[in-house]
Amino acid sequence: MSNSDDLSAWQAFSNGREALQQAKINNAENEAKWLLQSITQWRSEAIFFDQSLMLTAAQLSEFKDGIVRRAAYEPLAHIIGEMEFWSLPFTVTPATLIPRADSETLVEAVLQKMDNTKAETLLDLGTGSGCLMLSLLHERPSLSGVGVDRSADALKVAAQNAKALRLTPRAEFIQSIWFDDVTAPDGGFDIIISNPPYIPSKDMSGLMESVKSHEPHSALDGGDDGLDAYRAILAEVAINLARGGLLAFEIGIAQADDVIALMAAQKLQNIQKHKDLSGIERVITGFLP
């Protein structure tokens, strides 16, 4: 990055893009653009086509700092402090996983299955930023939700997102390890969802640096075979999910058959796979008879 304090937005963007390319950051052009947009609130068209736009000294300093942090593999979402999910803005911090587009598959699957039900209560196990539960509450005003996480810091982020999205009246958050401190409503929850830790422990060291060093390992490490959380949740799902209720899991690559077998062993029925936009089996749904 140039040390000049008198740079146009275009020149700052160009320098930032080059710095990220040298650091071998994928999608360097867009990441430099998104960072600059978050700081200036300008549309990308202005940055690209109006080369007379100048940055203030404060804006330039913030942009340079952000580029340095991103070049050191800190996630862009942490630098900006926000990530879009389901076309909604979510605050993110190092206390939560960064919402990813693949997880929108779970929201789509649940909405599809809800069309044939009168679901009113939802439990989100391992809520993190709250992106899954809050996206569903946003889409279905009849739903109320309980988000559970073992991390108090993650729950603060989720509650902040609920407030920003004006969903606080229908969203409750509880610190708990899975069902330990959860009291199900009479008859059980109509829907239980979870994007639990599913990375096998042996694979943790091979994760991208931005994930391995900046996102919470407790939300990633799924034990020896990556399936520990599914076993723990399924062991208690029958006493917390309503009869006829929907269970939806996000899963890792090539875990579909194993998770389906675990669900079938707990007598869930109508079990289905749902693929993400890349064609990967990403979500498994089933109903408690």
Q: For position 221, what pLDDT does the model report?
A: 57
Is the pLDDT at 4 greater than 60, yes or no? Answer: no
Task: Report residue 236 as tokens.
Answer: 């208690």
**Cβ–Cβ under 8 Å, residues 89 and 52:** no
Mean pLDDT of the chain, nearest integer: 89
Is the pLDDT at 98 greater than 70, yes or no? Answer: yes
Residue 278, phi then psi, degrees to nearest 5: -90, 0
Q: Which helix (H) or strand (E) holds 87?
A: none
Q: For position 17, what pLDDT does the model report?
A: 94
Residue with tokens 């509880």: 174
Task: Please state, in angstroms and as integers, the Cα–Cα distance from residue 10 to each residue in 13, 16, 38, 76, following that order.
Answer: 5, 10, 15, 20
Is the pLDDT at 154 greater than 50, yes or no? Answer: yes
User: pLDDT tens digits, residue range 179-215?
Assistant: 999 999 999 999 999 999 877 666 666 666 657 555 5
Q: For position 10, what pLDDT does the model report?
A: 85
Is the pLDDT at 112 greater than 90, yes or no? Answer: yes
* Highest mean pLDDT: which range of 7-16, 165-174, 219-228: 165-174
**Cβ–Cβ under 8 Å, residues 252 and 213:** no
Q: For position 220, what pLDDT does the model report?
A: 66
As a whole number, mean pLDDT of residues 122-150 equals 97
Residue with tokens 């989720």: 158
What is the pTM (predicted TM-score) of this model?
0.88
Q: Which helix (H) or strand (E) holds 153?
A: helix 152-164
Q: For position 106, what pLDDT does the model report?
A: 98
Is the pLDDT at 45 greater than 90, yes or no? Answer: no
Nearest C-alpha neighbor of 6 from the set 56, 58, 40, 81:
56
**Cβ–Cβ under 8 Å, residues 120 and 144:** yes
Question: Please, what is the angle between helix 131-139 and helix 152-164, to 10°?
Answer: 30
Q: Which helix (H) or strand (E) holds 236?
A: helix 228-237
Q: For position 162, what pLDDT does the model report?
A: 98
As a whole number, mean pLDDT of residues 127-134 equals 97
Sequence letter at residue 247: L
Identify each DSSP E strand in 79-152 by its residue range. Answer: 82-85, 88-91, 121-125, 144-149
Q: For position 52, what pLDDT does the model report?
A: 73
How many residues in total does the chain contain?
Answer: 289
Burial class from Cβ neighbours inside 10 Å (0-12, 13-18, 19+) for residue 26 reads exposed
Task: Report residue 147 as tokens.
Answer: 């988000």
* Highest mean pLDDT: which range of 32-46, 124-138, 214-228: 124-138
Dump the DSSP string for 218-280. Answer: GGTB--TTS-HHHHHHHHHHTTTEEEEEEEEEE--TT-HHHHHHHHHHTT-EEEEEEE-TTS-
